[in-house]
């Protein structure tokens, strides 16, 4: 597939999607197709893009539609309404145009960048180093201007220039052509050519760069913004939101109580013999920041007579689902280490050893754990729980 056929296929696939939104966007009464001032691309240009600028209407020197890169049509070709280069032929849509037809618009037909007569397709003479003969609308090799005999570049005001400037382009002593009037550049052949497409980056991509391709940046597999490199939101609980990988607030998680360290400065069960004065600790959870052990919502199974409990147990509930959505875990909530005191864990009366407000970050959830170093006792304010480790597992 040649470049024109490939571009035409891409144009047809996105044209219908963009046309409606572009027309709605023109609330200022302007014609659809002009750039909105942002980075040129399919989201804001119904013409073609050259160096971050939207060029419209298309021409043989800048051919394309719907935010794709501009092409320069070869001599004898014109830019049709779909944004592809085609062989010059009488064009429909220009009515009784006396000049030439370019992008469905009637041109005077006397410019070297848009040459022709009788409503035929305009031709860019400059690509072959030729000039448009105004009387005939035909591209012809120009005569060598006086004072420029033997000039290898181009001639302007009887002065030989090197012909390599975008504003004065040419060769073999022919007249200089200003390529910038069509948004083109002077090519190595001495004719106007399409400006090279800049590599994807912050200057021309509002989404993210997948190599040299600018993506929208809202897909989980290609997420990003500001022209940075696209990234994949690799964790199963993540989604792409406004160009950033974030934890889905509705993703489900299971909380596990792993272990705790309790100081031995308090006799928790004084009625027992000295060998059994260690507490019977269990873990409790309350999904709100106003801590009160009288309203525990979930607990993990307790252990007997230890200052260093290792539970490795899921936090469960009798009447509530065991899983908790991320949106609730990422708000402040309360964690408790309690002493069962001979009663069943998670049943009143509660004796609180330590309680603390937990404030998790998305990174805590994604890495799957957090360690809390301060859980003071609500009665005396002493930090009897010196370490509390919790883990989190995503439930797909």
Looking at the chain, the whole-number percentage of residues with pLDDT higher than 70 is: 80
Token pair of 247 as six digits: 């934890």
Cα separation, 378 vs 264, whole angstroms: 17
The strand pairing partners of 65, in sequence order, are none
CATH superfamily, domain at 252-395: C2 domain (2.60.40.150)
Q: What is the pLDDT of residue 282?
A: 92
The strand pairing partners of 101, in sequence order, are 106, 121
pLDDT at 227 over 80: yes
Q: What is the pLDDT of residue 314?
A: 92
Q: What is the pLDDT of residue 327?
A: 95
Q: What is the pLDDT of residue 239?
A: 94
* pTM flag (> 0.75): no
Cα separation, 64 vs 190, whole angstroms: 23
Q: What mean pLDDT do residues 37-66 have?
A: 77
The answer to whether residues 105 and 58 touch, using CB atoms and an 8 Å cutoff, is no
The pairs formed by 133-137 with CB atoms below 8 angstroms and a separation of 24 or more are: 134/110, 137/99, 137/100, 137/109, 137/110
* Segment 363-374, tens digit of pLDDT: 999 999 999 998
* Segment 335-371, tens digit of pLDDT: 999 988 766 677 777 788 999 899 999 999 999 999 9
Cα separation, 132 vs 104, whole angstroms: 20
pLDDT at 251 over 60: yes
CA dihedral 47, 49, 54, 59 (to 10 degrees): -50
pLDDT at 156 over 50: yes
Instruction: Return the minimum-mean-pLDDT range out of 112-121, 306-315, 339-348.
Output: 339-348
pLDDT at 125 over 90: no
The strand pairing partners of 155, in sequence order, are 160, 175
* Segment 259-306, tens digit of pLDDT: 999 988 877 766 555 555 788 899 998 888 778 766 778 888 888 889
Mean pLDDT, the chain, as a whole number?
79
Report CA-CA distances (Å) from 38 to 159, 195, 209, 280. Answer: 40, 19, 16, 64
Residues of the chain with CATH 2.60.40.150: 252-395
pLDDT band at 87 (very low <50, low <70, confident <90, very high): low
Q: What is the pLDDT of residue 223?
A: 95
Q: Pick the residue with more confidence: 76 or 316? A: 316
Token pair of 105 as six digits: 């618009």
pLDDT band at 143 (very low <50, low <70, confident <90, very high): low
């Amino acid at each position: 597939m040649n470049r024109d056929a490939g571009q035409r296929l891409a144009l047809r696939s996105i044209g219908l999607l963009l046309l409606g939104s572009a027309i709605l966007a023109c609330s200022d009464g302007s014609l659809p197709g002009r750039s909105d001032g942002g980075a040129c691309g399919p989201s804001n240009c119904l013409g073609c893009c050259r160096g971050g600028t939207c060029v419209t209407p298309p021409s043989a020197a800048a051919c394309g539609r719907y935010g794709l890169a501009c092409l320069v049509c070869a001599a004898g070709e014109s830019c049709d309404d779909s944004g592809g280069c085609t062989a010059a032929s009488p064009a429909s849509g220009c009515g009784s145009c006396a000049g030439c037809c370019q992008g469905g618009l009637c041109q005077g037909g006397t410019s070297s960048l848009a040459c022709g007569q009788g409503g035929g397709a305009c031709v860019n003479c400059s690509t072959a180093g030729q000039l448009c003969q105004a009387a005939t609308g035909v591209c012809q090799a120009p005569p060598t201007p006086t004072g420029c005999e033997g000039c290898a570049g181009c001639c302007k005001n009887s002065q030989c220039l090197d012909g390599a400037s975008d504003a004065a382009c040419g060769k073999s002593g022919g007249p200089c052509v200003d390529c910038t009037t069509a948004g083109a550049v002077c090519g190595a052949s001495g004719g106007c050519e399409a400006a090279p497409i800049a590599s994807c980056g912050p200057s021309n991509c509002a989404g993210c760069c997948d190599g040299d391709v600018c993506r929208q940046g809202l897909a989980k597999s290609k997420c990003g913004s500001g022209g940075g490199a696209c990234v994949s939101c690799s964790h199963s609980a993540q989604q792409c939101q406004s160009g950033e990988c974030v934890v889905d607030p509705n993703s489900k998680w299971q909380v596990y109580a792993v272990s705790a360290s309790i100081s031995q400065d308090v006799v928790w069960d004084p009625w027992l013999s000295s060998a059994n004065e260690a507490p019977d600790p269990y873990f409790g959870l309350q999904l709100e920041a106003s801590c009160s052990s009288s309203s525990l919502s979930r607990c993990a199974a307790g252990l007997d007579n230890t200052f260093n409990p290792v539970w490795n147990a899921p936090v469960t509930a009798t009447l509530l689902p065991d899983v908790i959505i991320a949106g609730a875990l990422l708000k402040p909530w309360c964690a408790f280490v309690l002493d069962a005191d001979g009663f069943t864990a998670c049943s009143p009366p509660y004796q609180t050893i330590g309680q603390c407000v937990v404030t998790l970050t998305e990174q805590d959830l994604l890495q799957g754990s957090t360690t809390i170093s301060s859980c003071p006792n609500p009665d005396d304010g002493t930090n009897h729980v010196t370490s509390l480790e919790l883990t989190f597992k995503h439930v797909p």
